[in-house]
Structure 1
Amino acid sequence: MKVLYIGGTGNISAASSRLAVKSGMDLYLLNRGKEQIKIDGAKSIIADYTNKEAVIQAIKGHEWDVVVNWMAFTPQDVESDFKIFNGHTKQYIFISSASAYQKPGGHPVITESTPLYNPYWQYSRDKIACEDYLIQRFRKDGFPITIVRPSLTYDTVIPVPICGWKDFTIIDRIRKGKEVIIHGDGTSLWTITHSEDFAKGFNGLLGHRQAIGHSFHITSDEIMTWNQIFEWVAEAAGAPLKAVHIASDFIGSFDENLYGSLLGDKAHSVIFDNSKIKRFVPGFRATIPFSEGIKRTLRWFEADPGRIQMDPAKGQLVDKIIRAYKRGSRSS
């Protein structure tokens, strides 16, 4: 099976790329050739994805069984893909986001039929608009789409909403005994998925003709509170957790991105029903608990000193929010 990944070396996609190669797929990765992560066994196509003509020239003469775009975020991105790949692939997989689901929803359990609606986060609204466009192309033109909605998925990032992600700032704060913020009272329910587990479900959809026209989310079945998540991060860091619980809307008033990420997603309890992906990919099961996966992530960071970078602006923002919160608490 001949597969093209646009991207394929990122936090979520690298594990899927490795599994695709291991499974015997003829995998091509289209990127700018500057990525630090290399996928052994994958073929490389060098092009800037944002340059449509460059992409057309780079893939000239190729026909695909599957095209996966890990880097499409706006309707313009998928419109361009439709023009390039319509008639040249048997399946096109769009990576959407589970943040597109209605928050708060009418039911605590999220299925693929949960409405898509997010008035808080532009990122999510753009993903919804991408889905709307692709569904129109499927219905009107027979464009063979499959939509996949990852939720919070990690491997080479630290998956906490405040002071986390690609840098080491949250771990540095914990190890130095500094306070960290947990949104709300920390008791809302959440699911975090290791990218190697995500890959097991995702790669089962590649070339799956019955998956065309369908949407799927792929997550772990492990349900945790945010208090538990932060405790496991601190345990992996090897230091006690000094947490300050602050309301999400208060946090969001200091930063637009945090407003969207919290109010439009992580502030709400979410339980994912993975019945559909398990029906289409029999045997799919997530097996990496977060308590183990976060330790793997920290070992990955610490294996290369160049990865251990702190973001002073993040730490300053956390300190600013905590100071403002405590001032308000004392005066109330």
Structure 2
Amino acid sequence: MRNILIIGGSYFAGRILVEELAKESNCAIHVFNRGRRPLGMTDVTELIGDREQAEQIREAIPVKEWDAVVDFCAYTPMQIKTMLDNLPGKIGQYIFISTTSVYQQSWHLPIAEDGLQLTGAQPELGNYATYGYDKAMSEIMLQQICESRGIPYTIFRPAIIYGYYNYAPRESYFFDLLRSHLPIVIPQHDLALFSFIWVVDMARMIIRCIGDERTYTQTFNLASDELVSYSRIVEVLGEITGKTIDPVRMPAVEIDRQGIPLPFPINEHLLYSGAKIKRLFDFEYTPFKKGLREALKYYLMVQKQRNSPAA
């Protein structure tokens, strides 16, 4: 029986990993978080505590031979250090969920794992100015500590994640507009291209890496091969709903002036290569159309539950 500890794990990508692991017959799943969203799942042990409090880590997490620790919610180097310094038991592999936001902008696209990383904060991003840089520094902290202690580690950098349990207004931004019969505004010049990763593909790749020595000390982008634009999103929405959708094309300056909250950049590519892990496991990413159809099914189910008399 493999002992798996998931830091986070109560929502979105972490929860999908828990659900996918629960299908395995050889996993003892432990989830450590603040307990704000109880999973209530059979055979999943929920451990309550704050990862930034060393004492709570030591008290809540049992001493075990951890085959893998999967960390979804480290955003700063100190959070990594506090966890590694205080986690009871022996760590067989530390898997850190980072982000493609660690990369500098580049014209060498798609960006692979050896792409240049940020060297400082990005003030132009406002509240998210330090997000990518802090994640990059967290990766370095993880590498330094694990290498000094002989702990195998693996780093994942997912592109834009979408799918079940998504709390971010990404695909739901478009679903909300369709549901409310409101026009979908997209940039007049379709210059921006994006890489996506379906959340289930992400979970399955994490599971395949657990205990696989080929993934030790390795970093992997998680990004589908498809290049997705705003026009492509609208096209796929039409295909999966069976409706004719005529978007309103608007100049970028007008979108900015009106404060239309498009979920992705208007004139900046977010393109990353997920070929490295694809080659390693001979894996095929789920087509964007199929993933978005599943995301829409989930969205409609949630809306139905919210609007039911018992809700």
Report deviation, 1:236.
Answer: 4.3
The 1:304/1:270 distance shift into structure 2, 3 A limit, reads closer
1:133 is aligned, of 127, 136, 141, to 141
Contact kept, 8 Å, 2:54 with 2:82, in 1: the verdict is yes
Q: State the partner residue of 1:299.
A: 297
Secondary structure of the 1:110 match is coil
Over aligned residues, Cα RMSD in angstroms?
3.3
Give the direction of change, closer, same or farther, for the CA distance of 1:125–1:247 in structure 2 (3 Å limit): farther
Pairs aligned (count): 297
With over 3 angstroms needed to count, the CA separation of the structure-2 counterparts of 1:277 and 1:298, relative to structure 1, is same
SS of aligned partner of 2:210: coil
Q: Which 10-residue stretch deviates more, 145-154 or 18-27?
A: 18-27
Q: Residues of 1 paired with 2:231 and 2:165: CA distance?
A: 19
Identity across matched positions, percent: 25
- Distance in 1, Cα, partners of 2:257 & 2:217: 36
- Does the CA-based 8 Å contact 2:75-2:131 persist in structure 1? yes
Using a 3 Å threshold, how does the CA distance of structure 1 residues 7 and 109 change in structure 2: closer, same or farther?
same
Corresponding residue for residue 176 of structure 2: 172
1:258: how far off? Answer: 8.0
Equivalent runs, 1:8-47 vs 2, <5 Å: 8-23=9-24, 24-35=26-37, 37-47=39-49
Tell me the equivalent position of 1:48.
Answer: 50
Alignment partner, residue 90 of structure 1: 92
**TM-score, normalising length: structure 2:** 0.81
Contact 2:61–2:88 under 8 Å retained in 1: no
Local SS of the residue matching 1:295 = helix
- Is the partner of 1:204 in helix, strand or coil? helix
List gaps (5 residues or longer) in structure 1.
310-332
* Contact 2:112 2:274 (8 Å CA) reproduced: yes
Q: Does 1:205 align with 2:213?
A: no
Tell me the secondary structure at the aligned position of residue 153 of structure 1: strand
Distance 1:64 1:157, change over 3 A: closer
Distance 2:297 2:271 in 1: 29
Q: 1:186 & 1:197 partners in 2: Cα distance?
A: 27
Task: After superposition, give the CA deviation of every residue in 1:194-213 in whole Å (9 maximum; x if it has no partner).
Answer: 11112222211112233221
Distance 2:42 2:186 in 1: 39
2:52 and 2:82 in contact (8 A); partners too: no
Contact in 2 for aligned 1:234/1:241 (Cα 8 Å): no
**Rounded Cα–Cα distance in structure 2 between residues aligned with 1:208 and 1:307:** 40
* Equivalent position SS for 1:240: coil
Q: Which of 249, 252, 257 pairs up with 1:247?
A: 252
Aligned-pair CA distance for 1:233: 3.3
For the 8 Å contact 1:102–1:116, the answer to whether it is kept is: yes
The answer (yes or no) to whether the contact 1:138–1:213 under 8 Å persists in 2 is no
Asked if the contact 2:195–2:270 (Cα under 8 Å) also holds between the matched residues in 1, the reply is: no
Whole-Å Cα distance in 1 between the matches of residues 199 and 163 of structure 2? 6
Match of 1:196 in 2: 200
Structure 2 match to 1:277 = 277
- From the superposition, tell whether residues 301 and 208 of structure 1 become closer, same or farther in structure 2 (CA, over 3 Å): same
TM-superposition CA deviations, 1:149-181 (whole Å, max 9, x none): 11111113569x9xx249x55423234443334
Secondary structure at the counterpart of residue 206 of structure 2: helix
The answer (yes or no) to whether the contact 2:51–2:83 under 8 Å persists in 1 is no
- Is 1:154 matched up with 2:162? yes
Structure 1 residue 94: Cα displacement: 1.0
Please say which of residues 215-224 and 225-234 is displaced more in the overlay.
225-234
C-alpha change, 1:7 and 1:278, in structure 2 (3 Å) is same
**Letter in structure 1 aligned against 2:18:** S
CA distance in 1, matches of 2:227, 2:213: 31
What is the deviation of 1:57? 0.2
Secondary structure, aligned partner of 2:224: coil
Aligned mates of 1:87, 1:149 — CA distance in 2: 27
Question: How far did 1:35 drift?
Answer: 1.8
Q: Structure 2: which 5+ residue stretches go unaligned?
A: none
Q: C-alpha separation between the residues in 2 aligned to 1:32 and 1:91?
A: 23
